[in-house]
Amino acid sequence: MDKKEKTNVMRVLEQKKVSYTPHTYTQDATTPGDEIARILGEDPKRVFKTLVTKGKTGTNYVFVIPVECELDLKKAAKAVGEKSIEMIKQKELLPLTGYVHGGCSPIGMKKQFATVIHETAMNYDTIFFSAGKVGYQVEMAPGDVAKVIRFELHDVVSN
């Protein structure tokens, strides 16, 4: 790893003694996820993005899906028992989660929201997702994520 800086996500994982591999890359928040997967030399099916939504009830939910996929709002709403959900506005992300667009991680948010990880994560020994800062990713076993946050597995992407 080029940069020695630790993100909050890395500190949380170390505190809970959960093994991970850090990865860094030099891009910005506008770099699409599939491009980040290419930069990392990884299959985009193993590189996940973190999306924050709001349900009709006003409750927030987090969805972690492969970077090459789109969140299916109907499937996502059904997975969390809402009539409907929508993406939150980008300007709401930092105050709500503590993360900026392009650096949002399901681990270490200001508050733990109900989280759904796309079921394909379990097909891989390890998956990648944001380490909580643009340019930083963590690679870890999907089962180890459960040692840090509660989540459910569902099919929530458009086919």
CA 89 to chain centroid, in Å, comes to: 17
Reported pTM? 0.94
Average pLDDT over residues 7-19: 96
Q: What is the pLDDT of residues 96-150, one digit of tens each?
A: 999 999 899 999 999 999 999 999 999 999 999 999 999 999 999 999 999 999 9
CA-nearest of 97, 73, 100, 70 to 84 is 73
Q: How far is residue 128's CA from residue 74's CA, in Å, rounded to a whole number?
A: 25
pLDDT of residue 1: 43
| Joined tokens for residue 19 | 């093994």
> Is-contact 112 149, C-beta < 8 A?
yes
What structural domains and CATH numbers belong to the chain?
8-154 (3.90.960.10)
| Joined tokens for residue 111 | 């508050």
